[in-house]
Amino acid sequence: MTMRLSTEVLVIGAGPAGTAAAHWAAESGRMVVLLEKETMPRERVCGDALTPKAVGHLADMGIEVNNKNFHQHHGLRMTAHGQSIELQWPTDHDHPSHGLAIRRRSLDKLLVEHADNTGAQVWTGVEVIDPIIEHGHLRGCRAMGSGCGSGPEGEIEVRARFVIIADGPLSPFGRSLGTARTRTYAQGVAMRGYFPSPRHSEKVIESVFDLRDNTGHQLPGYGWIFPLGDGTVNTGVGLLSHHHGNDPQSIRELFDKWLLQIPEAWEVEVDSIEGEPEGGRLPMGASVRPRSGPNWVVVGDAAGSVNPFNGDGVEPALSNGRLAASVVNDAIRTGDGLELRRYEKQLVSSYDHYYRLGRLVTKALGKPGLMRRFTLLGIQSRVLTELVMRISTNLVNNDAGGTESVYEIGKVVARLIPDRD
């Protein structure tokens, strides 16, 4: 027998975007059902380091960001060509002046519990099968519960006035409604592992820009070491993978090579990996269109919202989820479904210039030799390194002077350069 229920807002997927959307919609007094096919906790490919901007989103949600589950970091060390520059996180903006590190499996579980406590009905272990389409309109979804999570077992039918789609980078639900990724845009590929280190409580995270292919040419990407404060560090590699141009580098081969060049100061025990390394692709640069329909919006990785500068998916996801909940709430409050148009307009006005600039930068860095020249120049100058840090983590403040002037010039240039091959 099929279980049937109705709700105002259906959220599909319980990553940071989906849980943020569920939280904010429930906080506004809406009836929310959140479906997630996996059970918690679950693994995800992630560096586990949250930028100050992401920390600000969590604090806005009412999550206690100073508890023992999080490890604070106060700056970023950037290393290239044997030289390092260490920078503190900026203090001249509205976000906290520190970042946090927490394993993604723990973060997602925390966010699911928070959405549930806010009032959303959260069912894990429930896989969405297909959309319910009637007379050309989305009416909800059909799903199957495994009985292994918080959701029921068996066939489920959920009808909803509005649907927020947060089902990850492959986004099968979004694709069934016509969303598609622009394949000429670069996407990322990453792999990470957990290793014991006596330096696990360091207050600085490190990015090393010295990944090389088998011929010795520098690759457009970086290796990282992010201390977690739990006896381990998260270390891994991220690489741009263009649909055209560069041959895809074997990410496992690159990861194994990276383990041999991790800075010795971290004392990482590379032969003592916890489990197996995890790898995956990162849909970057607002590469998915459309991002909304008559009664649905797409958020997070499903919308291709990963930051093209640094591969961060958590901060954009938390931001997307909040915006999606806001427009859906307004649509319900006013009875005007056209309010959903504000979602696309807000994304364009607030983020698209940033993503466009990022897409052009990543496209340029994918050209042979340019990554090496860029890092050689940048690591010689603290000013340039801070510029890169601010822009890549989207910590740009209109009152902060030179960095913002360069950023504004970059946006103007980006608008003048063709964005597609």
Domains and CATH numbers, the chain: 3-73+95-182+284-353 (3.50.50.60)
* Sign of the C-alpha dihedral computed for residues 328, 334, 339 and 340 taken in this order: positive
The reported pLDDT for the residue numbered 237 is 96
Tokens linked to 367: 């050209």
Q: How far apart are CA 106 and CA 228, in angstroms?
A: 12
- Beta strand 232-241 pairing with 187-196: antiparallel
CA atoms within 13 A on the CB side of 403: 21
Quote the tokens at residue 160: 């909803």
- Say if CB 277 and CB 236 are below 8 A apart: yes
CA distances from 234 to 61, 73, 90 (A): 26, 14, 23
Query: For residue range 237-288, what is the model confidence (pLDDT) as tens digits?
Result: 999 875 334 444 589 999 999 999 999 999 999 999 999 999 999 999 899 9
Three-state DSSP class for residue 80: strand
Instruction: Tell me the C-alpha distance between 41 and 112, whole Å.
Output: 10
In this prediction, residue 246 carries a pLDDT of: 44
Residue found by looking up tokens 């649907």 in the block: 163
Identity of the residue numbered 407: Y
All residue ranges of the chain with pLDDT < 50 are 243-248, 400, 416, 421
| H/E run at residue 159 | strand 153-165
Q: What is the pTM (predicted TM-score) of this model? A: 0.93
Q: Which of 88, 101, 97, 96 is nearest to 49 (CA)?
A: 101
Contacts of 264 (CB under 8 A, 6+ apart): none
Distance, C-alpha 42 to centroid of its chain: 16
The token duo for 324 is 């999606």
* pLDDT the model gives residue 263: 94
What pLDDT score does 248 carry? Answer: 45
pLDDT at 77: 97
Nearest to 11 by CA among 261, 421, 321: 321
What's the pLDDT score for residue 67?
82
3-state secondary structure of 161: strand
Please name every residue paired with 254 in a beta bridge, in sequence order, or none if there are none.
Answer: none
The answer to whether 159 and 5 are in contact (CB under 8 A) is yes
Which of 323, 13, 25 has the alpha carbon at shortest distance from 171?
Answer: 13
Encode 293-341 in three state secondary structure.
Answer: CCCEEECHHHHCCECCCCCCCHHHHHHHHHHHHHHHHHHHHHCCHHHHH
Residue 417: its pLDDT value, please?
A: 57
Sign of the dihedral through C-alpha 407, 205, 350, 92? negative
Determine contact, residues 173/293, Cβ cutoff 8 Å: no
Rounded Cα–Cα distance for residues 406 and 419 (Å): 20
* C-alpha R_g of the chain: 21
Task: Identify the pLDDT of residue 244.
Answer: 38
* pLDDT at 420 (0 to 100): 57
Q: Which class for 303: exposed (0-12), middle (13-18), buried (19 or more C-beta within 10 A)? A: buried
